[in-house]
Amino acid sequence: MTDTALVAVLLATVAGALAGGAWAAGRRKARERQRPLFRSSPHYTEGLHLLATGQLEAASHELGKVLRQHPDAVEVQQVASHLYREVGKVERAIEIHRDLLAHKDLTRSERAHALASLGTDYRKAGFLDRAAQAYAEALQVDPRNLHALAGQQKLHEEQRQWREAYEIQTRLVRMRKSGDGLVLGFLQVEMGREALAAGRRDAAEEAFLTALSLDRRVFPAHLGLAELWMDRDPRRAVHLLEDAVAAVPERAYLAFPALQKAYAGAGEPSRFSALCERLVSQDPRDWRARLALARQLREGGAAAEALGLLLRAVEANPHVLLVHLEVWRTLRALGTLGPEEQRYVATVEASAVYVDPHICTVCRYRTDDMLWRCPHCHEWNTVVEERVSPAAGTR
């Protein structure tokens, strides 16, 4: 969860607590003309202010002070423990949730919420058995507790129990009435891959097809199907991969190696260049398609044409080392390099480590590989190539 999203959730929690509190206070007012004492604490106001400005660590510190003065303030316990977990103080979060659960007068939904939160504390701390138990207890108290169900689903994903994760996700989609099939599709892909590894081709194919019927944007399902058909029927593999590129053009490069193989297998290797040309015309910043095309041109003896393509790729994506390297190789092919430059290119080729920066659009986690599931926020299909804009003044 991003900081902004987290703050929004926490503020919603606070607002809910305040609304509930306001209603309860309204009733009490007639009797006592009083409001909960913790709300008159300056630390409470300061804590909310810090929370609203996204300063989570400081907010947890202030709310911790409120709790020391008013250990029974349930809504402060709920929010503070969530904050402690988010800033990495999971032990403190666990402690507060245990204290909270010791209250006798919690409502059913407060108890379920506290148990589910405790489950998430344990999950973050790596105590998976205890997490599973806490989520199960939360669901005993309230079988429709979304937090506990979502936690159970993540717990299964973390243990690569794809079928169990899929079943819970199906219930979640139904309860949220969201109709979102993307996560279900990615879980089917994992089930398909497992089937493939166990030699069960039919089960794998069925899983990949189910994934695509849930959502056509599940790119690895297209890749999985193409792989199944690559040797037996390369034309069919071509068809499947072209479908994938049409469904998610920004992921096309992930299908390039398979596409080259499939076109070659189908006896039409030149169609790969045509595909790259189409991709470049659709997105001028698609340096991967330009690079693939330039390589084909250079290898086919059209190095001058390749150079033109690569220079445009440098303009659009100056940070990509692979493009620069390809420029040097092309210059070498054109015979324009002296011995010094040739030595330089050989050194770069031998020693440069190419990192392929990717970033999660949800939590900003950075990785050097393309991953279908973010290892930090555990969301699916949120990792994209990280692009650096050209320097100011260039086209």
Minimum CB–partner distance for residue 190 and Zn ion (Å): 18
Minimum CB–partner distance for residue 87 and Zn ion (Å): 17
Is the distance from CB of 252 to CB of 224 less than 8 angstroms?
no
Minimum CB–partner distance for residue 14 and Zn ion (Å): 25
Stretch that binds Zn ion, among 93-101, 216-224, 289-297, 365-373 (CB under 5 A): 365-373
Stretch that binds Zn ion, among 187-195, 300-308, 318-326, 371-379 (CB under 5 A): 371-379
Q: Does 372 bind Zn ion (CB under 5 A)?
A: no
Q: Does 374 bind Zn ion (CB under 5 A)?
A: yes
Binding test (CB under 5 A) with Zn ion, winner from 362, 370, 373, 385? 362
Stretch that binds Zn ion, among 107-115, 230-238, 309-317, 377-385 (CB under 5 A): 377-385
Binding test (CB under 5 A) with Zn ion, winner from 376, 385, 386, 390? 376
Nearest by Cα to 82 from 1, 143, 179, 141: 1
State CA 62 to chain mean position distance: 31
Binding test (CB under 5 A) with Zn ion, winner from 377, 385, 386, 390? 377
Dist CA 235 CA 263 (whole Å):
8
Is the distance from CB of 89 to CB of 59 less than 8 angstroms?
no
Nearer to Zn ion, 39 or 378 (CB): 378
State CA 83 to chain mean position distance: 21
Binding test (CB under 5 A) with Zn ion, winner from 138, 148, 276, 363? 363
Dist CA 8 CA 138 (whole Å):
24
Minimum CB–partner distance for residue 6 and Zn ion (Å): 13
Q: Which two tokens stand for residue 325?
A: 């390297």
Is the distance from CB of 359 to CB of 365 less than 8 angstroms?
yes
Nearest by Cα to 101 from 83, 91, 115: 115
Minimum CB–partner distance for residue 153 and Zn ion (Å): 16
Count, residues near Zn ion per rule CB under 5 A: 7
Nearer to Zn ion, 279 or 360 (CB): 360
Binding test (CB under 5 A) with Zn ion, winner from 365, 367, 373, 386? 365
Minimum CB–partner distance for residue 366 and Zn ion (Å): 10
Q: Does 373 bind Zn ion (CB under 5 A)?
A: no
Dist CA 238 CA 19 (whole Å):
58
Q: Which residues pair with 358 in a beta bridge?
A: 367, 385
Q: Helix H segments across the chain?
A: 3-32, 42-52, 56-69, 74-86, 90-101, 108-125, 128-141, 146-158, 162-176, 182-197, 201-214, 219-229, 234-247, 256-265, 271-282, 287-299, 303-316, 321-333, 339-351
Dist CA 61 CA 76 (whole Å):
12
Minimum CB–partner distance for residue 379 and Zn ion (Å): 5
Q: Helix H segments across 70-107?
A: 74-86, 90-101
Minimum CB–partner distance for residue 383 and Zn ion (Å): 7
Query: Identity (one letter) of the amino acid at 42?
Result: P
**Rg of the Cα trace of the chain?**
28
Minimum CB–partner distance for residue 13 and Zn ion (Å): 22
Dist CA 39 CA 205 (whole Å):
59
Q: Does 371 bind Zn ion (CB under 5 A)?
A: no
Nearer to Zn ion, 273 or 361 (CB): 361
Stretch that binds Zn ion, among 188-196, 212-220, 269-277, 364-372 (CB under 5 A): 364-372
Binding test (CB under 5 A) with Zn ion, winner from 223, 360, 380, 381? 360
- Kindly identify the residues of this chain, within the stretch 261-320, that bind Zn ion according to CB under 5 A: none
Phi-psi region of 229 (alpha: psi -120 to 50; beta: other; left: phi over 0): alpha
Q: Which two tokens stand for residue 370?
A: 């393309």
Minimum CB–partner distance for residue 154 and Zn ion (Å): 13
Stretch that binds Zn ion, among 13-21, 124-132, 189-197, 352-360 (CB under 5 A): 352-360
Q: Which residues sit at the interface with Zn ion, rule CB under 5 A?
A: 360, 362-363, 365, 374, 376-377
